Amino acid sequence: MDEINNLIILYDYYGNLLTSSQQNYFVEYYFNNLSLSEISENLNVSRNAVHKQLRVACDKLLEYEEKLKFLDKTNKLRALVLKEADEKLRNSMLEILDN
């Protein structure tokens, strides 16, 4: 479950860097909870093609994070912000991080 959640979070960061078909497969599988067979039927492609494109998309998301580390940096910043004693300042910084 953690792996799926991590991929979904990475999609929020890097999804626009995927091709439109990879985005479509990812959304159908991870957000709309369709099976590989359902996606293949809907898009008139083989189940294997769907599986391959999903794997490529997931690998790309992981590669982007490995190189750019946006999620890692955001998590580190969030941890620092949460230590801020001034509640108003802390909330303002969290709002920036969440947008």
Would you call 39 exposed, middle or buried from its count of C-beta atoms within 10 A (0-12, 13-18, 19+)?
buried
Span 2-49, pLDDT tens digits: 999 999 999 999 999 999 999 999 999 999 999 999 999 999 999 999
Span 64-77, pLDDT tens digits: 999 999 999 999 99
Residue 97 clears pLDDT 90, i.e. is over it: no
Q: pTM higher than 0.75 for the full model?
A: yes
For range 50-78, the mean pLDDT: 96
Q: What is the 3-state secondary structure (H, E, C) of the chain?
A: CHHHHHHHHHHHHHHHHCCHHHHHHHHHHHHCCCCHHHHHHHHCCCHHHHHHHHHHHHHHHHHHHHHHCHHHHHHHHHHHHHCCCCHHHHHHHHHHHHC
